[in-house]
């Protein structure tokens, strides 16, 4: 490839090796704010260009912070185990768009078979537990106690 100078033809294209992970915010965020975990080397400008050029998402503002991963846990050799650090980006969307993190594990509608099976299973477990316990008239005293 010939050496690139400004204004010349772009023969090589570099795709970013970054990844952005959209996460559910731990604390409630305003409607236009999306929370991402990004690579530690990304800057606010990088995040803005990434979203605008690759995904065509209008970005109004980006704020970042670095979350320090704790170093308190110990393994079986009493060495400290560090949780990795990561960068969190709060992106405010432009043009009045809003975003709500979806519920990834919705409760599935149970059909009558599974419901009756669950009921049967619960009743069976209750009966087993009652068999394990002794006579209720003894008030919890074990059966080997006595004359």
Partner 1 sequence: MAAVGARLLLRPGRRWFSETAPGAPSPPVSPLYPPVVASITAKSKVAKSRRLQRFNQRVHEAATVEEKLRLYGKLQRPKYTVYPQTFALNADRWYRSFTKTVLVPGMPPRAAAAKPLVAAAGATPEGGRAPEPAAEAPEAPESAAGAAPSLDMSELRSLACDAILQESFYQNKKRPLLYRDQDHTPGPFLTQLVSTLAAFLSGRNPLLAASSLDLNPEVNYYWHHGEEVVVHGHRKGRVDPVRFQIDDNPHLQIRVPKQLPEVVPLESDLGDVPVIDHKPSKLPLFKKQYENKVFIGSKVADPCCYGHTQFHLLPDKLKRERFIRERLEDQIEVVYRSNGIASLFAWTAAQAMYQGFWSEADVTRPFVSQAVVTDGKYFAFFCYQLNTLALTAETIKNNPRKNICWGTDSKPLYDVVEDGNVKGFNDEVLLQLVRFLLNRPKEL
- Can you list the positions of beta strands (E) in the chain? 20-23, 33-38, 59-67, 73-74, 80-81, 86-93
Nearest-approach distance from CB 76 to partner 1, in angstroms: 32
What count of other Cβ atoms lies within 10 Å of the Cβ of residue 29? 16
Nearer of residues 33 and 39 to partner 1, judged by Cβ: 33
In a 13 Å sphere around the CA of 57, the CA atoms on its Cβ side amount to 20
Toward partner 1, which CB reaches closer, 8 or 96? 96
From the CB of 50, what's the least distance to partner 1, in Å?
16
The footprint of partner 1 (CB under 8 A) covers 27-30, 32-33, 58, 60-61, 63, 92, 94
The least distance separating partner 1 from the CB of residue 99, rounded to whole angstroms, comes to: 14
φ/ψ of residue 38, rounded to 5: -125, 170
CB of 30: closest distance to partner 1 in angstroms? 5
Nearest to 25 by CA among 17, 34, 16, 12: 34
């Amino acid at each position: 490839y010939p050496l690139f100078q400004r204004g010349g033809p772009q023969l090589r294209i570099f795709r970013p090796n970054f990844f952005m992970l959209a996460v559910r915010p731990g604390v409630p965020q305003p409607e236009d704010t999306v929370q991402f975990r990004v690579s530690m080397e990304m800057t606010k400008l990088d995040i803005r260009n990434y979203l605008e050029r690759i995904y065509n998402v209008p970005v109004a503002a980006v704020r970042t912070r670095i979350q320090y991963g704790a170093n308190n846990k110990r393994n079986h050799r009493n060495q400290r185990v560090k949780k990795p650090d990561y960068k969190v980006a709060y992106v405010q969307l432009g043009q009045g768009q809003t975003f709500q993190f979806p519920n990834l594990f919705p409760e599935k509608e149970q059909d009558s078979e599974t419901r009756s099976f669950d009921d049967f299973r619960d009743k069976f477990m209750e009966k087993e537990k009652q068999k394990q316990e002794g006579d209720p008239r003894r008030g919890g005293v074990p059966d080997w106690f006595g004359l």
